């Protein structure tokens, strides 16, 4: 997928990055450094990564019942009865701190897509999940953009 972004030119490079940012588990932690590494505009990369990830949070919020049912059936078919380590860790954070802290920490633990689904399954309203994960994505997008720009400058990959 990275080759797809690298081989594209001009606006198509940004479009390719947006499409990749829509994919589950490819959050701002991956998309932003890749875009900046390819000499794309840091601000545009941050905005594109945010928009792609936030769009998926909205999709999960709208269709969470169908997605949760599909996920349950899939686990059932595989014979998985116990929650995964990620799910256990997410539930612990949820029980201890609630939605705001869960939304701020979960992108680094679960990814925003799975975090949205988990928060909805834990009983939060769609509006609160979308709001808090949106705030979290803005913060993480800014942090990752700044860290990627200065980090790549520091190690002399980006000039």
The pLDDT of residue 47 is: 96
What length is written for the chain? 159
The pLDDT of residue 52 is: 92
pTM tops 0.85? no
The pLDDT of residue 131 is: 94
Please identify every stretch of the chain with a pLDDT value under 50, giving residue numbers as ranges.
Answer: 158
C-alpha 87/C-alpha 74 separation (Å) is: 16
In 3D space, the residue among 66, 35, 37, 40 whose CA is nearest the CA of residue 53 turns out to be 35
The pLDDT of residue 92 is: 82
The pLDDT of residue 84 is: 78
The pLDDT of residue 157 is: 54
In 3D space, the residue among 125, 130, 151 whose CA is nearest the CA of residue 29 turns out to be 151
């Amino acid at each position: 997928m990275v080759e797809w972004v690298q081989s594209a030119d001009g606006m198509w490079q940004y479009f390719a990055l947006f499409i990749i940012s829509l994919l589950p588990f490819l959050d701002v932690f991956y998309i932003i450094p890749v875009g900046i590494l390819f000499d794309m505009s840091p601000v545009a990369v941050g905005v594109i990564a945010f928009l792609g990830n936030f769009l998926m949070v909205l999709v999960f919020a709208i269709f969470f019942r169908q997605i949760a049912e599909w996920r349950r059936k899939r686990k059932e078919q595989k014979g998985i009865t116990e929650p995964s380590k990620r799910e256990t860790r997410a539930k612990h954070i949820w029980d201890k701190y609630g939605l705001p802290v869960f939304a701020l920490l979960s992108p680094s633990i679960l990814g925003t897509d799975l975090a949205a689904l988990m928060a909805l399954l834990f009983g939060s309203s769609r509006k609160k999940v979308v709001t808090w994960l949106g705030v979290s994505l803005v913060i993480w997008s800014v942090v990752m953009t700044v860290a990627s720009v200065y980090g790549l400058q520091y190690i002399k990959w980006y000039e």
